[in-house]
Amino acid sequence: MSETIEGGPRAPVLTAKHVVRRFGGLVAVNDVSFEVRKGEILGLIGPNGAGKTTMFDLLAGSILPTSGEILLNGVNVSGEAAHRRIGRGLGRTFQIPRPLPNLTLIENVMLAAQGQSGERLLANFLTPWRVAAEEKVAETKAGELLELVALARLAHEPARVLSGGQRKLLELARVMMADPAIILLDEPAAGVNATLLEVIIDRIRDINARGITFLLIEHNIDMVTRLCDRVLVMAGGQLLCEGTADEVARDPRVIEAYLGGAAAA
């Protein structure tokens, strides 16, 4: 494992330090620490009930930790809500995307644009030219992102026509609209056919090549093996081990967690 250098090319973008999350008497995440390094694709795997989704929710700001710290580019964001973290460069997709079905694809992507003057009511009356100019820029950018995720031909179709895999590609474009430094991907392979899965893998690689960092939860081990530089394994709310995909696949603790029912609910 290479050392990280503060401010360097492999510096941590996202860090969890001794993070704990309790729900009443249940400890869903128990003293978990790790870092996601700039430019990498890091995988987070584990059996059902391991605490992966709770960890993602904590990193994204959907829920807050009981104790411990979450740092985004060195800033402690442990108490910040999800929308504040988006503004700091953290994007997240969901296992089941829910685009607005009656809006077109390009409209769905444009909704994710940040800092638009048109979001303020008075600006629409006092500086309509600025609002219009910003919308034009956003539309151009949204079109480019739909091209990136291979959905440009459907740009002006309503989102309701998309398959499950296409919705995941649309969500990836929406996340990119906010110019994230890191994207949390929640099971991008779930419910996706083999052909579209190849498209998703290719697009993740393309986006990563632009300098965007990824952390992904995934049960598709083949996808994890193909994409991830490092892999973290959780079980029973704790971090069990980390290493390359091959290393963790051979670790007896991982085999026991998956086959021996070691994960907590």
Task: Please say if the pLDDT value at position 264 is more than 80.
Answer: no
Domain that holds residue 62: 12-97+183-190+213-259
In angstroms, rounded to a whole number, what is the distance separating the alpha carbons of residues 134 and 51?
Answer: 41
Unique residue bearing structure tokens 């694809």: 105
Report the pLDDT value the prediction gives residue 132, as an integer from 0 to 100.
63
In angstroms, rounded to a whole number, what is the distance separating the alpha carbons of residues 62 and 175?
Answer: 16
Task: Please say if the pLDDT value at position 124 is more than 60.
Answer: no
Which conformational region is residue 113 in: left (phi greater than 0), alpha (psi within -120 to 50 degrees), or beta? beta
Task: Please say if the pLDDT value at position 69 is more than 50.
Answer: yes
Does the residue 155 lie in any domain?
no
Does the residue 103 lie in any domain?
no
| pLDDT tier at 96, thresholds 50, 70, 90 | confident
| pLDDT tier at 2, thresholds 50, 70, 90 | very low
Decide the pairing of beta strands 182-186 and 213-217: parallel
What mean pLDDT comes out for the span 91-113? Answer: 91
What angle is formed at CA 154 by the lines to CA 153 and CA 155, rounded to 5 degrees?
A: 95
In angstroms, rounded to a whole number, what is the distance separating the alpha carbons of residues 204 and 100?
Answer: 23
For the domain that residue 248 is a member of, what is the CATH number? 3.40.50.300
- Domains contained in the chain, number: 1
Query: How does pLDDT run across 100-109, given as a tens digit for each residue?
Result: 999 999 999 9
Does the residue 122 lie in any domain?
no
Does the residue 142 lie in any domain?
no
In angstroms, rounded to a whole number, what is the distance separating the alpha carbons of residues 114 and 151?
Answer: 22
Percent of the chain predicted with pLDDT > 70: 86
Higher-pLDDT residue of 91, 259: 91
Does the residue 56 lie in any domain?
yes
Q: Is 38 helix (H, G, I), strand (E, B) or coil?
A: coil
Does the residue 207 lie in any domain?
no
CB atoms within 10 A of CB 53: 17
Does the residue 255 lie in any domain?
yes
Task: Please say if the pLDDT value at position 119 is more than 90.
Answer: no
Contact assessment for residue 12 and residue 4, using Cβ atoms and an 8 Å cutoff: yes
Report the pLDDT value the prediction gives residue 133, as an integer from 0 to 100.
67
Does the residue 78 lie in any domain?
yes
Query: How does pLDDT run across 131-187, given as a tens digit for each residue?
Result: 566 678 889 999 999 999 999 999 999 999 999 999 999 999 999 998 999 999 999
| Beta-carbon-side half-sphere exposure of residue 127 (alpha carbons within 13 Å) | 11
